[in-house]
A and B are shown apart, each in its own frame.
Chain A
């Protein structure tokens, strides 16, 4: 018989892994059960977001308040990435800031107002006019009139981060179970995750992103987590020149360059997915639109060629994290970043694990309690 598990984590993305790192580091016997679909954290492109993403606001104007109130969590999240960078021995993390570009006076006005709101929440933001912007981002096109800079933002190389995280968890003795969990049993005794096998543990943490909805229905929650299949592109390596995470005030784009020289172009262009369990596929129109937009705002990249494209899945939920036991005292907990999962994963996973183990937490988890999802 296998050794007893103190904490079973459903989902092997960055959130579940971070929870495992915290719990195993505190001496708990931890196992991660994962279905190896590999389209969340393992398909992520490594942006570390802090400022409010114009794209989310445009698509979900009714959730603006959730996003704005989460800004301190984003600040804690990037600080947690600094800790992780140190702990894992370097994940190509840079915190050189993020630019949100404007192409006209109205967009500049929007950014000014946004920056003011963000500054109140403690973000290090400034408005840059064209000359100042040109000095730090000479690759930009002439149509860009200015930008908001958020000095807290940055990027990591997710390939390196995921590999080093895996190695660290193995070294800590975290077990890895390959199974697809289809339900959670939470009776009076030990809870169990049900897949091909029945996995019992003293406590279960659901870190299953878009899979959360199906697993929490029987737990008395109505928590919609539709997957958002997204498109990404990567180029061959060029000289390191794009130091910031680049976004646009009105259009969907993220543009950044890894230290290794490749430029990653993404930002939420749709991919095609037939059902939550299928691997999303690249759409031709997204590829054309996304790359053409990148070429228009940053003509300096025109000498590079696109090498690969791929699709991954984001789980936006309601723009606010969900962290903690499904009911006070329950032995099943949730850790769901609620958009920007790769940025928020480490802090959300860590906080969830800290609550389960009764450790002091860096953030106040009360606003993120699952009670807003009670059926």
Chain B
């Protein structure tokens, strides 16, 4: 039975049903404007996975809480977050401090992390797994927030089974855990709502996945504009639709999948715009995809058939140009082939590829290589997924896009190796190369003409959504002689905000490299620094109690 939860938003009484995030509850109640920026613009939930920091609200007087990562509780007082919170909030809750040294520490409870945990337990290792969300499963398996909710489809059922297997095998899963520090050792610092941890494992497996790349066009920061994954989480985890009428633009199969899911949930899909040309123009790549993995290719074909049955036509070679808040909703001007069109909707969902969450790897100094095809850094890895730093393994999409199926095989291999077991079996190697061939063919089918950079942004387009840095301001800094990414950052504040450069850094690095005719490399990006995510001062203070020897101050 779903029970009714009562809360207030800016003083008005609200209700929500069941186990939902604060962001989902507010979306369900029709509230998308959650915070004000320094430039006095409204912002709302954008990424839905705790990265963008634009859904900040004040909860029970405590400012700067992420609505997307906070589970709604009965009696909560939620308020719009002012640009600058007063320094007079209530005292933070007391946190319990623990220092732990498990055999294997896994960061990330998605497909890769769960598979790694099961494999490491099978070798007898003591395994601790930290997951950011309240329920493990990751982005691919996206689990419902309510434990007793029935699975929506086989994908969710498979995820539930994997989480259950991990628990039964004896993996200790700490949910709602944010990893904010990574130092040589490795020494990992993490926190939950009640605890802070310093972790010094014998082996570390990084399975932090990826986040979605947006397209930077006028209006991409408006409330109601969100990533495709954020919309999917609203529906799959919390049973809330992003709006009645939805437009989806992007590149890759996730867009079609989410269009189908939202449509089945009762949303009207006004446009499903795909950057790539239709698959039938690339029969060879389609054939390669089918050959490398019949089941997955069939699933994709079934998805497109499902869309057709529901009357949703894919608009191929589509590209959004600008989004505007109008009286009737969000009006999107877009290009469909050579034609210009416009549509007005309640919610706009964007996904233009993925960016690996490799902050922990970069902080620990693992050797990275730039993959020009996907515009991503990928760590160098051995056959057992060990990075250039001994004892540090990396699996799944945090190493560059590879998909959930490859991630699970990588997890199995790394989990066993990290626990001192044997290397990959022939079957695993064959499976992994099959999945990689499939991914390769898949992205040939979905090949876009160009990655979404800022070359086509208008001067007033925001490149840094946190510090509200426009393309014009960035170009001024470049003209004034800024040469490296650090100098541009100091001159414009680009990348200095709460998302810590996660959206602007990849496009800025590519833009600078393009202008200077240099190849992209690790040093093209902002230097990695702690904290990995913004961390409460109270969390840091509580963690200090775990220092084995007090540091010499000065």
CB of A61 within 8 Å of the partner chain = no
Chain B 65-106 per-residue mask, 1 if CB under 8 angstroms from chain A, else 0: 000000000000000001111111101100000000000000
B189 contacts across to A, CB distance below 8 A: 284
CB of B538 within 8 Å of the partner chain = yes
Inter-subunit contact B86/A239 (CB<8 Å) = yes
Inter-subunit contact A239/B87 (CB<8 Å) = yes
B490 contacts across to A, CB distance below 8 A: 42, 159, 162-163
B38, B86, B497, B535: which contacts A306 (Cβ < 8 A)? Answer: B535
Inter-subunit contact B537/A305 (CB<8 Å) = yes
Stretch of B214-222, B506-514, B546-554 contacting A (4+ beta carbons < 8 Å): B546-554
CB of B170 within 8 Å of the partner chain = no
Q: Tell me, in angstroms, the Cα distance from A267 to B497 when the chains sit together.
A: 23
Inter-subunit contact B544/A292 (CB<8 Å) = yes
Q: Tell me, in angstroms, the Cα distance from A236 to B535 when the chains sit together.
A: 10
Inter-subunit contact B87/A307 (CB<8 Å) = no
Q: Tell me, in angstroms, the Cα distance from A239 to B481 when the chains sit together.
A: 34
CB of B14 within 8 Å of the partner chain = no
From residue 252 to 273 of chain A, which have CB atoms closer than 8 A to chain B?
252-253, 260-261, 267-270
User: Contacts A267-B554, A269-B553: A288 and B543 contacting too (C-beta < 8 A)?
Assistant: yes
B181 contacts across to A, CB distance below 8 A: 284, 287
User: Contacts A287-B181, A291-B540, A302-B537: A239 and B85 contacting too (C-beta < 8 A)?
Assistant: yes
Inter-subunit contact A303/B85 (CB<8 Å) = yes
CB of A139 within 8 Å of the partner chain = yes
Identify the closest chain A residue to B495 (Cβ): A308
Q: Tell me, in angstroms, the Cα distance from A139 to B535 when the chains sit together.
A: 20
Shortest beta-carbon distance, A140 to chain B, in Å?
A: 11
Inter-subunit contact B87/A301 (CB<8 Å) = yes
A58 contacts across to B, CB distance below 8 A: 554
Inter-subunit contact A251/B553 (CB<8 Å) = yes
Identify the closest chain A residue to B182 (Cβ): A284
CB of B383 within 8 Å of the partner chain = no
- Which of the listed residues A139, A251, A287, A301 has the most CB atoms from chain B within 10 Å of its own CB? A287
Chain A 31-51 per-residue mask, 1 if CB under 8 angstroms from chain B, else 0: 000001010001000000000
B92, B531, B547: which contacts A307 (Cβ < 8 A)? Answer: B531
A295 contacts across to B, CB distance below 8 A: 537-538, 540-541
CB of B183 within 8 Å of the partner chain = yes
Q: Tell me, in angstroms, the Cα distance from A291 to B545 when the chains sit together.
A: 12
CB of A124 within 8 Å of the partner chain = no
User: Contacts A292-B540, A302-B92: A285 and B500 contacting too (C-beta < 8 A)?
Assistant: no
Total chain A interface residues with beta-carbon distance under 8 A: 60
CB of A195 within 8 Å of the partner chain = no
Shortest beta-carbon distance, A276 to chain B, in Å?
A: 18
B543 contacts across to A, CB distance below 8 A: 288, 292
User: Contacts A59-B554, A293-B553: A287 and B87 contacting too (C-beta < 8 A)?
Assistant: no
B92 contacts across to A, CB distance below 8 A: 302-303
CB of B529 within 8 Å of the partner chain = yes
CB of A289 within 8 Å of the partner chain = yes
Inter-subunit contact B91/A299 (CB<8 Å) = yes
CB of A170 within 8 Å of the partner chain = yes
A310 contacts across to B, CB distance below 8 A: 529
Shortest beta-carbon distance, A311 to chain B, in Å?
A: 9
CB of A235 within 8 Å of the partner chain = yes
CB of A241 within 8 Å of the partner chain = yes
Inter-subunit contact B551/A166 (CB<8 Å) = no
A-B contact count (CB 8 A): 154
Shortest beta-carbon distance, A53 to chain B, in Å?
A: 10
From residue 52 to 86 of chain A, which have CB atoms closer than 8 A to chain B?
55, 58-59
Inter-subunit contact A55/B481 (CB<8 Å) = no
Identify the closest chain A residue to B493 (Cβ): A159
CB of B536 within 8 Å of the partner chain = yes
Identify the closest chain B residue to A176 (Cβ): B481
Chain B 477-497 per-residue mask, 1 if CB under 8 angstroms from chain A, else 0: 000110010110011010011
Total chain B interface residues with beta-carbon distance under 8 A: 50
CB of B498 within 8 Å of the partner chain = yes
CB of B313 within 8 Å of the partner chain = no
Identify the closest chain A residue to B83 (Cβ): A237
B87 contacts across to A, CB distance below 8 A: 139, 238-239, 241-242, 300-301, 303-304
Shortest beta-carbon distance, B531 to chain A, in Å?
A: 6
CB of B10 within 8 Å of the partner chain = no
Q: Tell me, in angstroms, the Cα distance from A240 to B84 when the chains sit together.
A: 8
CB of A296 within 8 Å of the partner chain = yes
A236, A251, A253, A284: which contacts B498 (Cβ < 8 A)? Answer: A236
Shortest beta-carbon distance, A135 to chain B, in Å?
A: 15
From residue 149 to 194 of chain A, which have CB atoms closer than 8 A to chain B?
159, 162-163, 166-167, 170, 176
From residue 434 to 479 of chain B, which have CB atoms closer than 8 A to chain A?
none
Inter-subunit contact A307/B541 (CB<8 Å) = no
CB of B187 within 8 Å of the partner chain = yes
CB of A94 within 8 Å of the partner chain = no
Identify the closest chain A residue to B62 (Cβ): A303
B64, B84, B480: which contacts A239 (Cβ < 8 A)? Answer: B84
From residue 1 to 48 of chain B, which have CB atoms closer than 8 A to chain A?
38
Q: Tell me, in angstroms, the Cα distance from A239 to B86 when the chains sit together.
A: 5
CB of B279 within 8 Å of the partner chain = no
A239, A240, A306: which contacts B534 (Cβ < 8 A)? Answer: A306
From residue 203 to 217 of chain B, which have CB atoms closer than 8 A to chain A?
none
Q: Tell me, in angstroms, the Cα distance from A270 to B550 when the chains sit together.
A: 13
A42, A253, A300, A305: which contacts B88 (Cβ < 8 A)? Answer: A300
CB of B396 within 8 Å of the partner chain = no
User: Contacts A241-B87, A287-B181, A307-B534: A270 and B554 contacting too (C-beta < 8 A)?
Assistant: yes
Identify the closest chain A residue to B486 (Cβ): A38
Shortest beta-carbon distance, B105 to chain A, in Å?
A: 16
Inter-subunit contact A294/B529 (CB<8 Å) = no
A292 contacts across to B, CB distance below 8 A: 540-541, 543-544
Shortest beta-carbon distance, A144 to chain B, in Å?
A: 15
B537 contacts across to A, CB distance below 8 A: 235, 291, 294-295, 301-306
Inter-subunit contact A304/B547 (CB<8 Å) = no
A286 contacts across to B, CB distance below 8 A: 551
Shortest beta-carbon distance, B478 to chain A, in Å?
A: 13
Inter-subunit contact B496/A308 (CB<8 Å) = yes
Identify the closest chain B residue to A284 (Cβ): B183
CB of B63 within 8 Å of the partner chain = yes
CB of B530 within 8 Å of the partner chain = yes
CB of A282 within 8 Å of the partner chain = yes
Shortest beta-carbon distance, A236 to chain B, in Å?
A: 6
Q: Tell me, in angstroms, the Cα distance from A252 to B531 when the chains sit together.
A: 21
Inter-subunit contact A236/B64 (CB<8 Å) = yes
A241 contacts across to B, CB distance below 8 A: 86-87
CB of A309 within 8 Å of the partner chain = yes
User: Contacts A303-B87, A306-B534: A296 and B486 contacting too (C-beta < 8 A)?
Assistant: no
- Which of the listed residues A240, A288, A306 has the most CB atoms from chain B within 10 Å of its own CB? A288
Identify the closest chain B residue to A241 (Cβ): B87
From residue 195 to 238 of chain A, which have CB atoms closer than 8 A to chain B?
235-238
Q: Tell me, in angstroms, the Cα distance from A242 to B87 when the chains sit together.
A: 9
Residues of A bordering B, CB below 8 Å: 36, 38, 42, 55, 58-59, 138-139, 159, 162-163, 166-167, 170, 176, 235-242, 251-253, 260-261, 267-270, 279, 282-296, 299-310
- 22 example contacts (A-B, Cβ-Cβ < 8 A) are as follows A159-B490, A166-B480, A236-B534, A237-B38, A239-B85, A241-B87, A267-B553, A270-B552, A283-B551, A284-B530, A287-B540, A289-B547, A289-B551, A291-B540, A302-B89, A302-B92, A303-B64, A305-B64, A305-B537, A306-B531, A306-B535, A307-B497
- Top 3 A-B pairs ranked by shortest CB distance? A252-B554, A292-B544, A285-B551
Other CB < 8 Å A-B pairs besides A235-B537, A242-B87, A288-B551, 20 of them?
Answer: A55-B554, A159-B493, A238-B86, A239-B84, A239-B86, A268-B553, A269-B551, A269-B554, A270-B554, A279-B527, A285-B551, A287-B181, A289-B551, A290-B553, A291-B537, A294-B537, A301-B537, A303-B92, A307-B500, A307-B531
